[in-house]
Amino acid sequence: MKTCPSCGTADMGFDSRDIPFNYKGERLIVEQIRGWFCSTCSEALFDDGEGGRYAAEIDHFVKMIDSTQGEDLRRIRRKLHLSQKEAAQLFGGGVNAFSEYERGVTKPAKSTLLLLKILDKHPDLVEEVRRYA
């Protein structure tokens, strides 16, 4: 047993655990991370090298989710028959906005994302958007 740096009780035991990580509604389980886990609070101290493995898996997962969302934005834009430039003119964000969103470099504002989701379901409304843009 080891004393927990977070809650101060001597309730930390060495173990291997699956650590869940949530990002944008998707869940990754990083399997069998070795380390000290507190049974009083939720503190965890990863064993040597495990922090790096955890960080690498999370990093890969986040990039994968971001690129998936970028591909989804590209699909919606094409469905609306808009070039990246036209899409930026309609939705704002600057001339390179859609190029960056679609590559997962930056994220669109939540309002842009919501509007695109609505247009994905009702593509005919893009004409209405054009009128107000």
Contacts of residue 54, defined as CB under 8 A and 6 or more positions apart, other chains included, come to 19, 30, 33, 46
Q: Is the Cα torsion angle 41, 47, 48, 49 positive or negative in sign?
A: negative
Do 106 and 113 form a contact (C-beta atoms < 8 A)? no
15 counts as binding Zn ion under rule CB under 5 A = no
Give the residue with the Cβ less far from Zn ion, 41 or 58: 41
Give the residue with the Cβ less far from Zn ion, 16 or 42: 42
6 counts as binding Zn ion under rule CB under 5 A = yes
Give the residue with the Cβ less far from Zn ion, 6 or 106: 6
Q: How many residues bind Zn ion (CB under 5 A)?
A: 7
45 counts as binding Zn ion under rule CB under 5 A = no
CA distance 43 to 53: 18
Paired tokens of 109: 């504002």
Q: How far is the CB of 39 from Zn ion (least distance, A)?
A: 8
47 counts as binding Zn ion under rule CB under 5 A = no
Q: How far is the CB of 40 from Zn ion (least distance, A)?
A: 5
CA distance 63 to 92: 24
Residue type, 67: S
Residue numbers at the binding site for Zn ion (CB under 5 A): 4, 6-7, 38, 40-41, 43
